[in-house]
């Protein structure tokens, strides 16, 4: 018989080791599926690795892929720190994409256009996040449900836009008009898709870390998340801080959309996000809500996504395995987190 016993202290190496352990467990668990699909496990993972990290081009592709997930991962990490359960990063990303696309289509000097795209996208994301936050603060509506369901609302609003007013009148495709060429984010390296948004994402992580760890707003976010009653007694306006957190979280998710429009697609279409908003939840959990940890966690998921496509082409294993790995990684991490608070003890059977 085994059972869980509360830990009195958590070993320091756990914090670093747990995500690695969760990733390892995920790869082992998913190997069964690969075998079931009729491919060699070692070979399949080998293709995945070389296609995502094997050469410099593969690495740049993984970086480009990781960029929106760094933004959404940060968005979720910030929100979850305050126990604002923002499951709506997907919708906030889409809102950010639409707003930045609208701004980017207006002719104006490039740098100004990029700046305004970022501002508009962040504002749109923040505005969407404000809805579940306000519902929770004013009417105690569950934020998980409201932020999650809002994703569908935003998605279909986007569809209505690109099927309607934005529809390409020549081709008839449901895609928005492209943004101005001058508003395209500059590339960083000839022959790759690296763009300005990638740099912005890598800079955002330490900035958000600083905000959480070193500012009074960050302190208040941490405290209202851990113990809102003590925060209230301590003179913190819990509701106000929650709203600020939601705005920040939504703005970050909105920037993910801005970066995809300005740096990758230059327009909006229905599949502009293959669930980057939801992946942000996995990223944030793998990072244990640490903004600095969001970067490696996003890189891991990006590598899995790029690698899974190549693996699918090479071995015939369906590319959906990428989704399975993501889901398994989240579950593995949640299980791993249990062991920070509990340990397993083996006990004799009762008489």
Binding site for another protein (CB under 8 A): 1, 3, 5, 8-9, 214-220, 222-223, 226-227, 229-236, 345, 347-351
Distance CA(250)–CA(147), nearest Å, equals: 11
Q: Which is nearer to another protein, 35 or 230 (CB)?
A: 230
Nearest-approach distance from CB 220 to another protein, in angstroms: 7
Nearer to another protein, 243 or 268 (CB): 243
User: By C-beta, is 128 or 236 nearer to another protein?
Assistant: 236
Burial 171-200 (b: 16+ CB within 10 A, else e): eeebbbbbbbeebbbeebeeebbbbbbbeb
- Cβ neighbours of residue 4 closer than 8 Å, sequence gap 6 or more: 338, 342, 343, 344, 345
What is the smallest separation between the CB atom of 16 and another protein, expressed in angstroms? 17
Determine the Cα–Cα distance for residues 242 and 223; give it in Å rounded to an integer.
Answer: 11
Min CB(211)–another protein separation in Å:
10
Between 167 and 232, CB nearer to another protein:
232
Q: Of 301, 247, 292, 220, nearest to 74 (Cα)?
A: 292
Tokens of 174: 């449901």
CB of 84 to another protein, least distance (A): 17
Q: Which is nearer to another protein, 11 or 318 (CB)?
A: 11
Backbone angles phi, psi at 333, to 5 degrees: -70, -40
CB 217 to another protein: min, Å = 7
């Amino acid at each position: 018989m085994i059972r869980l016993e509360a830990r009195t202290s958590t070993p320091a190496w756990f914090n670093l080791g747990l995500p690695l352990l969760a990733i390892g467990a995920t790869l082992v668990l998913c190997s069964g599926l690969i075998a079931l699909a009729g491919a060699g496990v070692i070979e399949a993972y080998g293709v995945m690795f070389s296609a995502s990290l094997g050469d410099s081009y593969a690495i740049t592709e993984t970086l480009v892929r990781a960029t929106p997930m760094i933004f959404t991962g940060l968005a979720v990490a910030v929100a979850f720190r305050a126990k604002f359960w923002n499951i709506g990063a997907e919708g906030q990303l889409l809102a950010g994409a639409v707003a930045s696309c609208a701004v980017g289509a207006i002719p104006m000097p490039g740098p100004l256009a990029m700046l305004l795209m970022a501002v508009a996208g962040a504002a749109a994301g923040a505005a969407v996040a404000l809805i579940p936050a306000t519902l929770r603060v004013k009417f105690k509506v569950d934020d998980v449900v409201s932020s999650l369901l809002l994703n569908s609302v935003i998605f279909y609003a986007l569809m209505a836009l690109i099927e309607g007013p934005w529809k390409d009148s020549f081709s008839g495709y449901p895609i928005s008009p492209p943004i101005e060429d001058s508003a395209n984010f500059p590339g960083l390296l000839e022959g790759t898709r690296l763009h300005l948004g990638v740099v912005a994402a890598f800079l955002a992580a330490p900035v958000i870390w600083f905000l959480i760890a070193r500012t009074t707003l960050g302190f208040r976010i941490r405290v209202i998340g851990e113990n809102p009653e003590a925060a209230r007694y301590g003179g913190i306006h819990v509701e106000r801080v929650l709203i600020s957190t939601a705005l920040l979280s939504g703005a970050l998710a909105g920037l993910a959309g801005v970066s995809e429009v300005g740096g990758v697609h230059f327009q909006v279409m229905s599949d502009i996000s293959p669930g980057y908003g939801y992946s942000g939840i996995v990223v944030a959990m793998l990072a244990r809500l640490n903004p600095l940890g969001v970067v490696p966690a996003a890189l891991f998921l990006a590598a899995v996504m790029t690698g899974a496509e190549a693996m699918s082409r090479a071995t015939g294993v369906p590319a959906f395995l990428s989704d399975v790995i993501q889901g398994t990684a989240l579950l593995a991490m949640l299980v791993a987190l249990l062991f920070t608070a509990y340990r397993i003890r083996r006990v004799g059977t009762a008489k």
